[in-house]
Amino acid sequence: MRPIPARDKLTVCFAHVAYRLGERFALRNTGLDWFEVRSPDDLKARIAQADVLLCSGLWRNDLIPRAPRLAFVQSISAGTDQYSRGALAEAGIRVASAQGANERAVAEHAIALILALARKIPEARDNQAAKNWRGMIGEIARREDELGGKTLLIVGLGRIGSRLATLAKAFDMKVIGCRRDVSRGAGAADRVVGEEGLLAVLPEADFVALTCPLTPATENLIDAKALAAMKPSACLVNVARGKVVNEPALFEALGRNAIAGAALDCVWQEPLPAQSALWSVPNLLITPHTAGETQRYEDNVIDLLLENLERLWRGETALKNQFV
């Protein structure tokens, strides 16, 4: 692996279109040299000056040959599918994710989406915009509902999924977890099944929440077969990655009310194109991949960065959340 320069020789690059990483980093008074870029072109032009890079959506693997000094990438995101592990390892560049920096935020966003679907908050907002006072509903199945006693199936029982399980239990929900390694424990979940048991437990769920990473095993995990296994009254919530869900299959299932509704914080193509049919699906709630965003997020990531830099300066070989 490439050596990390001493403190007085180190230059950090913050690369993000919106996050105020430089502004928050300056308040730490670390004495480290840094600069900030906000576009792919600016990152490409200046990456040769960086020893350490904080990046997520602006990362492109073709930047590697342009970065002769780069020794460490601290990803701003928990997701890591944009990074070529092989190419980075061959170049001797360490990479660590921001796993854990947003576990509370994403879990809270997931429970907010579940509540929004159960309490029909999007419909209420639409009625407010239309100045329509909706009357009381006689048909029981069309009313708002309570979470207590409902079953939540969490696909991906890592840090975010485990936190979501704890929140769900506070609403008196029954929680089933689905994870690759069932031996790692249930935590707050009432029961845990392996990935091979997903189809068998889908019919039990009133809500299915996706909190798993995107891997070859989870791409298109929720396909037409999985959606057909869900109850017609069930709802799907995705705060993982867009490609965990087969979008055409979901669009078709929602269109014929094969499931009651869905909430997506992530989609196949981001930003979601204006011409996408998903915008107009009445029983679909969309948030623009903001589950992990909070007023504290920059500081959470900077905490990870500084901890990993200290480990490197001490000569340690293992970094927090390192995957390359």
Whether 191 is catalytic is no
Sorted by sequence, the CB contacts under 8 Å of residue 41 that are 6+ apart come out as: none
Compute the distance between CA of residue 140 and CA of residue 235 in angstroms, rounded to an integer. Answer: 17
Token output for 311: 């480990």
Specify the amino acid at residue 62. D
Residue 187 CB-density burial (10 A; 0-12 exposed, 13-18 middle, 19+ buried): middle
Among 16, 109, 179, 241, the one annotated catalytic: 241
* Contact status, residue 159 vs residue 103, Cβ threshold 8 Å: yes
Q: In what order do the strands lie in the sheet with 151-155?
A: 191-193, 174-178, 151-155, 207-210, 235-238, 261-264, 284-286
Whether 270 is catalytic is yes
Among 90, 270, 310, 316, the one annotated catalytic: 270
Whether 241 is catalytic is yes
Place of tokens 């901890």: 307
Among 109, 163, 289, 298, the one annotated catalytic: 289
Q: Hey, which residues are catalytic here?
A: 241, 270, 289
